Amino acid sequence: MSTLSVNLPAVNVDWRLPSRGRVGMYCLIAAEAAIFTIFVVAYLFYIGKSAIGPTPKDVLHAPIFYSVCLLSSSLTVHAAVRRLVAGNMAAFARFWLLTILLGGVFLFGTAREWAHLISQDGLTINTNLFGTTYYSLVGLHASHVTIGLLAMITVALFYFGQRLQREHAERLEILSLYWHFVDAVWVVVFLVVYVIGV
Amino acid sequence: MSPTSILAPASTPADSIFGLSIFVLLNVAAIFIVVFALLAYVLVRFRNNGHDDQKEPAQIYGSTQVELAWTVIPVLIVLALFLAAAHVIASVQNPPRSPGALEVTVTGHQFWWEYRYPSLNIVTANELHVPLSDPARPAPTFLTLLSADTDHSFWVPRLAGKTDLIPNHPNQMWIDPHEPGLYLGQCAQYCGTQHAKMLLRVYVQPRDEFERWVHEQQQRSQAGNVSAGQRVFESTACVNCHTVSGTPAKGRFGPDLTHLMSRETIAAGASPNTFQMLRLWIQNPDAIKPGSKMPAMGLNDKDLDAVTAYLETLR
Amino acid sequence: MSANTIAVPELPVSRPFTLRLHEWVTTVDHKRLGILYILFALVFLIVGGIEATIMRLQLVRPHNDLVSPEVFNRMFTMHGTTMIFFVAMPMVFGFANYLVPLMIGARDMAFPRLNAFSFWMSALGGIFLYFSFLGGDGLYGAGSAPDVGWFAYAPLTAKTFSVGHSTDYWTLSLLSSGIGSIGTAINIIATILCMRCPGMTLGKMPLLVWLNLVMAGMVILAVSPLSAAQIMLLIDRYLGAHFFDTQAGGSAVIWMHFFWIFGHPEVYVLVLPAFAFASEIIPVFSRKAIFGYPVMVLATIAIGFIGMSVWAHHMFTIGMSAGANTFFVLSTMAIAVPTGIKIFNWVATMWGGKLRFDAPMLFCVGFLFQFLVAGLTGVTLAVAPLDWQLGNSYYVVAHFHYVIVGGILFCIFGAFYYWFPKTSGKMYNETLARLHFWLFFIGFHLTFDFMHVPGVLGMPRRIYTYEPGRGWDIWNLIVTVGVVFQAAGVLVFVFNLVWSYLRGQAAGNDPWDAWTLEWSTSSPPPMYNYGVIPTVRSRRPLWDLKHPEDPDWRYE
């Protein structure tokens, strides 16, 4: 078999293209943003349209503390990656575990809120339009937080198994992009559910 | 000529759409002829005649003027079509409400049409009667479109474009037919098993005929001797779904039967309204419209005959 | 042996079937996954065609009783769902998978394992959808196959109106293939942005690569809303939620918005790769560079953007305000401009060329005529008042089949013949290919030209039978006759592929004297595509090599 050689004399090209992982993560974020947008649109569309049952004003209390926890975790994950880039493994681990903790506290807060809504306020996903849109939007966000936490716990396990290296900083930075996205979504959800919708 | 052709309009909305479609067709046909001719010419003129001289033709990479021209011209055509469309949209969707207008509420069901004339106290089903409208003294009919279950669509092509009946989303449309006669159509939004046999029949009647029909529809049933068939009707499940005004039958799930015999068809046009077909419908609806919501009533022959005979008295 | 290939020890010819099967099932190679996608799509093309045939036989005359209304309703639902999600999408992804890395001088896609995962999620979706025929009542009466139409309007899909699990087969199978689609789209974008060979700036990529880049972007933005809506539907049906529950104040219309925000960009997802094939084939068979490359790129991007803003032209009859209707007329008309321009660019490419009408070009020429007509009927439908009459009628069915079959499928056939020699190393039989073309062309026009007429005469879609005396009978008969020719054409096509694969003549590297990078590799390419990653200087690197006295990079 024969093939044409296409090695044209290299015109002086400084050839650098973006990293695959980064582009892939941005695309994933775009797709997830589109999904969240639909749930947000449904939430906004149905504000005030419930025929019966508890209204947002009746039962919602803005989770300021837990939101602060979640949004701070963006800062801590950023700090963790910076430490890893610098090679400071112990500091990296501290910030990384702090991120996981803050995310876990946020989820705990959501669970507490839901337990109260279900048992005390009688609001479930099938109570009315508010219940439907609230649980699905907040739940979709919480599921994304959970996935992020699972990924970060996996990284922590690698760290404790002595397998995490400084060279992995880029990958962890890409993972932290996902985490920043999840936090950004929370800003939107918070505004829509606890500010606009009440 | 097809009784459901969009090219034979008999009412203003359908007329407007027809006029617009001629304008659009002319534009589109012109574009087609020009591009088709260009393409055909290119195929013939530049065919490789196997001269096999291995020379490649001149490589032309583009031309700003040409590309500008064939961008600007389509933009102008598109603009013209858009303006024409916007004009008709406005005229059809925002009609003037004249004092002679008739209001009818249409509720779509799986798989039949319910008609209520609130100002005339009339309830009927499947066959819509409207007055003739004279362009000099318009008597349009405004339809409010509701649905009791899934999505439907009211489409009588010679009278107007279709408008959907969507639950929890009332819609409005209007017609002003200027030729008397029977206009046909059918449901145009898939609504379930028997979507295909949810037919429309619109009777456009001159003013005096229409008034006579209204008067007949406004009559209540005569209270009198209850026939055997009426007893069967009122003691079985019939009354759960059907209304016969002036009697205990007050069901709303199925069509109002008070003036059943004033209709030419049954089962939303699926069958002519004869004794045999009516009897068959009650005995075994699946024989006429499999998947309709009318259950087989499980009556014996004697009761079947009696009930059918009773229904035949509902004029 | 040139510098671009590396000697690989030949594997023994007769490896056990199980070993070869295992290699295919576990492959992460973009070329093999591409072929798997395409074969999968071909199988479902035949299945979808059978469903269409059943429908056409039922509609050949009024009041026919070949199949019950229940079975017919399952047929049109399954036909639409199959053709869009399990034929057209896999075809598009299969060709993209195979060609994009080769055309940009890369060795594989950006994420090979994600690639395999995405394929198998799509395949799982297809298998699951068809399991619905068996799930429930079994095959007679067509089991639990969904019967809600391929766009599954609410509230017909609510538990009340769709008892049992047929709707859930629709939802779950499409959620699975949706995950596959998004995965592949991510892969395509990352590959194109991050793995082009040196010298191949964005302005020097083949048009096929551009078109697939924009297509992938649209998949990411469009398939996600569908997935979101389907999750909402599942929550409604199983957790008692009220997203589309009109009895509780929910909205049937919001389903329509969510669906068509997917549904309209979806058709551009399908057509942009068809444009890609035409943009590669027409220049080669006209012996000229594509006319107006920069504008073709800009028009593609414009279609990508505007295409996200036209969705409610599928909803002109639902009772939107005059203002909303007018806006969507404008946006839909706007998208006609960049789309139409492309036709002119292709014709200008042919102008002054030396046209050869081998099978790939035959199909592309058919595409040009038919896409012209399809685009024009689309313009008529964009005029909302006309849509009030023609919408949801057989005129619309004729229009979109004209685009998908007359436009997209014709380009796909062209692409099959064009790249078959590259993927298999064998040449297909040209006589059989032309027989395929003419049979299918005649059948296509018999069916879809005349299908416009019943629409104009008032025949709605999705009806299992119709009344005599409305003037629809003769047209339905002609439409059904066309099916025979199309089926024959497809059979000839499949036979040609199989026969040529087994017995065809060796094709060589570059049977068409073409100009993009894939033609510099062997046929079929080695597993690693390029021994040495090429460097390019223009849009047609092989033209530069073949015409060193007049290279493209002087003019670009």
DSSP assignments along B169-230, one per residue: B-EEEEE---S-EEEEEE--S--STTGGG-EEEEEEE-HHHHHHHHHHHTPPPPP-PPPHHH
Residues A114, A167 contacting (CB under 8 angstroms):
no
DSSP-based three-state secondary structure for C457: coil
Q: Which of B202, B196, B32, B7 has the alpha carbon at shortest distance from C455?
A: B7
Whole-angstrom distance, CA of residue C294 vs CA of residue C338: 13
B183 plus B290 within the same structural domain: no
pTM value > 0.80: yes
B90 plus B157 within the same structural domain: yes
B103 plus B174 within the same structural domain: yes
Q: Which residues of C touch B169 (CB under 8 A)?
A: 246, 251-253, 318-319
Question: How does pLDDT run across A75-122, given as a tens digit for each residue?
Answer: 999 999 999 999 999 999 999 999 999 999 999 999 999 999 999 999
Residues C363, C410 contacting (CB under 8 angstroms):
yes
Identify the domain containing residue B19 by its residue range: 1-43+64-205
Strands B199-205 and B127-131: parallel
Residues B65, B103 contacting (CB under 8 angstroms):
no
Residues C428, C504 contacting (CB under 8 angstroms):
yes
B262 plus B113 within the same structural domain: no
DSSP-based three-state secondary structure for C423: helix
Tell me if B147 is assigned to some domain: yes
Whole-angstrom distance, CA of residue B35 vs CA of residue B277: 56
Beta-carbon separation of B62 and C457 below 8 A: no
Exposed e or buried b for every residue in A167-195, given b needs 16+ CB within 10 A? ebbeebbbbbbbbebbbebbeebbebbbe
Strands B102-109 and B127-131: unpaired
Tell me if B165 is assigned to some domain: yes
Please name the member of C220, C235, C251 whose beta carbon is closest to the beta carbon of A31. C220
CA C133, C138, C140, C141 torsion: positive or negative?
A: negative
What kind and span of H or E run contains B136? Answer: none
B 74-103 residues inside an 8 A Cβ radius of C: 74-75, 78, 81-82, 84-86, 88-90, 92-94
Please name the member of C317, C456, C555 whose beta carbon is closest to the beta carbon of B6. C456
Chains adjacent to C (≥3 CB pairs closer than 8 angstroms):
A, B
Query: What pLDDT is stored for residue C13 in this prediction?
Result: 66
Beta-carbon separation of C460 and B42 below 8 A: no
Does the beta carbon of B14 lie under 8 angstroms from any beta carbon of chain C? Answer: yes
B259 plus B153 within the same structural domain: no
Q: Which residue has the tokens 């994304």?
A: A144
Q: Which residues of B touch C278 (CB under 8 A)?
A: none
Neighbours of B108 (CB within 10 A): 26
Tell me if B28 is assigned to some domain: yes
C 260-289 residues inside an 8 A Cβ radius of A: 261
B167 plus B235 within the same structural domain: no
Tell me if B219 is assigned to some domain: no
Query: What pLDDT is stored for residue B1 in this prediction?
Result: 84
DSSP-based three-state secondary structure for B269: coil
Helix, strand, coil percent content, chain C, rounded in steps of 5? 70, 0, 30
Does the beta carbon of C509 lie under 8 angstroms from any beta carbon of chain A? Answer: yes
DSSP letter string over chain A? ------B------------HHHHHHHHHHHHHHHHHHHHHHHHHHTTT--SSS--HHHH----HHHHHHHHHHHHHHHHHHHHHHHT-HHHHHHHHHHHHHHHHHHHHHHHHHHHHHHHTS---TTTSHHHHHHHHHHHHHHHHHHHHHHHHHHHHHHHHTT---GGGHHHHHHHHHHHHHHHHHHHHHHIIIIII--
Written as one letter, the residue type at C521 is: T
Chain C residue at shortest CA distance from A125:
C241
B38 plus B181 within the same structural domain: yes
Work out how many domains chain B is built from and give that number. 2
Q: Which of B294, B198, B309, B217 has the alpha carbon at shortest distance from B262?
A: B217
Whole-angstrom distance, CA of residue C136 vs CA of residue C247: 28
Where does residue C20 rank: exposed (0-12), middle (13-18), buried (19+ CB within 10 A)? Answer: exposed
DSSP-based three-state secondary structure for B147: strand
Helix, strand, coil percent content, chain B, rounded in steps of 5? 35, 20, 45
Selected residue of C535, C545, C552 to mutate for chain A interface (largest A Cβ count, 10 A):
C535
Residues C337, C373 contacting (CB under 8 angstroms):
no
Beta-carbon separation of C254 and A45 below 8 A: yes
Instruction: Please report the number of interchain residue pairs, chain A to chain C, with beta-carbon separation below 8 angstroms.
Output: 158
Beta-carbon separation of C545 and A7 below 8 A: no
B198 plus B77 within the same structural domain: yes
B263 plus B121 within the same structural domain: no
Angstrom distances, CA of residue C356 to CA of B185, C365, C419, C428: 50, 11, 16, 16
B199 plus B286 within the same structural domain: no
Mean pLDDT of chain A: 93
Beta-carbon separation of B4 and C337 below 8 A: no
B246 plus B144 within the same structural domain: no
Tell me if B213 is assigned to some domain: no
DSSP-based three-state secondary structure for B253: coil
**Angle, vertex CA B157, rays to CA C384 and CA C161, nearest 5:** 80
Q: What's B159's domain CATH number?
A: 2.60.40.420
Regions in chain C scoring below 70 on pLDDT: 1-13, 136-142
Where does residue C308 rank: exposed (0-12), middle (13-18), buried (19+ CB within 10 A)? Answer: middle
Tell me if B6 is assigned to some domain: yes
Tell me if B107 is assigned to some domain: yes
**Domains of chain A, earliest start first:** 21-196 (1.20.120.80)
Chain A residue at shortest CA distance from C239:
A126
Chain B residue at shortest CA distance from C319:
B171
Selected residue of A16, A29, A132 to mutate for chain C interface (largest C Cβ count, 10 A):
A132
Does the beta carbon of A16 lie under 8 angstroms from any beta carbon of chain C? Answer: no
Residues C103, C518 contacting (CB under 8 angstroms):
yes
Query: What pLDDT is stored for residue A3 in this prediction?
Result: 47
Neighbours of B120 (CB within 10 A): 14
- N- to C-terminal Cα separation, chain A: 72
Query: What pLDDT is stored for residue C1 in this prediction?
Result: 41
Whole-angstrom distance, CA of residue B216 vs CA of residue A98: 82
Tell me if B51 is assigned to some domain: no
DSSP state at residue C197: P
CA B123, B124, B126, B131 torsion: positive or negative?
A: negative
DSSP state at residue C82: I
Q: Which of C156, B148, C243 has the alpha carbon at shortest distance from A128?
A: C243
Beta-carbon separation of B61 and C391 below 8 A: no
Q: Which residues of A touch C246 (CB under 8 A)?
A: none
Strands B141-147 and B171-175: antiparallel
B163 plus B234 within the same structural domain: no
| Residue A2 confidence class, pLDDT cut points 50, 70, 90 | very low
Whole-angstrom distance, CA of residue C167 vs CA of residue C176: 15
Please name the member of C2, C193, C249 whose beta carbon is closest to the beta carbon of A2. C2
**Domains of chain C, earliest start first:** 33-554 (1.20.210.10)
DSSP-based three-state secondary structure for B65: helix
Mean pLDDT, 10 residues at a time, chain B of 315 residues = 95 97 97 97 90 82 92 95 97 85 97 97 96 91 97 98 97 96 98 97 97 93 78 93 93 96 96 96 96 93 95 92
Where does residue B300 rank: exposed (0-12), middle (13-18), buried (19+ CB within 10 A)? Answer: exposed
H-type alpha helices, B46-148:
64-93
ipTM for the predicted complex comes to 0.96
Selected residue of C181, C220, C227, C261 to mutate for chain A interface (largest A Cβ count, 10 A):
C220
Q: Which residue has the tokens 């009773």?
A: B310
Structure tokens at B200: 């429309």
Residues B267, B288 contacting (CB under 8 angstroms):
yes
Beta-carbon separation of B89 and C384 below 8 A: yes
Selected residue of B60, B92, B163, B289 to mutate for chain C interface (largest C Cβ count, 10 A):
B60
